[in-house]
Amino acid sequence: MPRLRQVSRAETKSEHVLKTYDLLFGDRDPVKEPGTATGTRGDWWTVFALVPDILEHATRGFALYRNPERKLDPQLRELGQTRVGWVKGSQFVFSQHCKSMRGLKMSEEKIAAVPDWQVADCFDDRERAVLAYADSLAAGGRTPQGVFDKLRTFLSDEEIMEFTYITCLYDMHAVMSKALRLEFDDRDDPIVEVPAPKDFSARDFLDTGRR
């Protein structure tokens, strides 16, 4: 379950929240009857609804990147969104944008190769450049000049700005989904100590240097 309380339909008076619920859940209360058409529980929406203007701000971001006035190729955009989901370890962002890639008629080979794009032969030079830039953004923003120079051979400054903003927006969504345990990111941390055998002693470890 999410770490924050979910907002039921009866609880909210926000027109934006109610319109969003109508769009995604029909006339159901998404807390009592969860589930969306894409197979998620829908608790991303019900938790964001705690602060209606934050939900509205977030949904405007979705409209922004889908705006037909965007100059950026949507396939390149989705490569950035999907890759940043994988790098940040958000199964929710990664999984949802694999579906978006498929919706844009991208090949199953490319969708499967997003995690190991560096050694995949299915991406062209443009795609490899935006994937490299997505990695730089996900790592904190330090970007080698060579990556930026390559981007400028096929993207305008406006397109680079769009890619940067949208990729960083989904970096934020990935981080928030993990922190709040939303949707497919409601998972225990896998990085935990593995118990040693019962006959293990700390002295044995120190004496032998075993790892």
pLDDT, tens digit (0-9, with 9 covering 90-100), for 82-109 = 999 999 999 999 999 999 999 999 999 9
- The whole-number pLDDT of residue 80 equals 98
In degrees, rounded to 5, the angle at the alpha carbon of residue 74 between the alpha carbons of residues 69 and 78 is 135
Do 53 and 22 share a structural domain? yes
pLDDT of residue 102: 97
What distance in Å separates the CA atoms of residue 77 and residue 80, rounded to the nearest whole number? 5
> What pLDDT was estimated at residue 211?
57
Does residue 24 sit in the same domain as residue 120? no
pTM higher than 0.75, yes or no?
Answer: yes
Residue 198 pLDDT: 82
- Give the domain extent around 97: 71-185
Can you read off the two tokens belonging to residue 122? Answer: 């299915």
Task: Tell me which residue of 182, 185, 188, 187 sits closest to 42, measured CA to CA.
Answer: 182
Q: What is the pLDDT of residue 206?
A: 61
User: What is the structure's pLDDT at 205?
Assistant: 62
Q: How many domains does the chain have?
A: 2
Which regions in the chain score pLDDT beneath 70?
Answer: 202-211
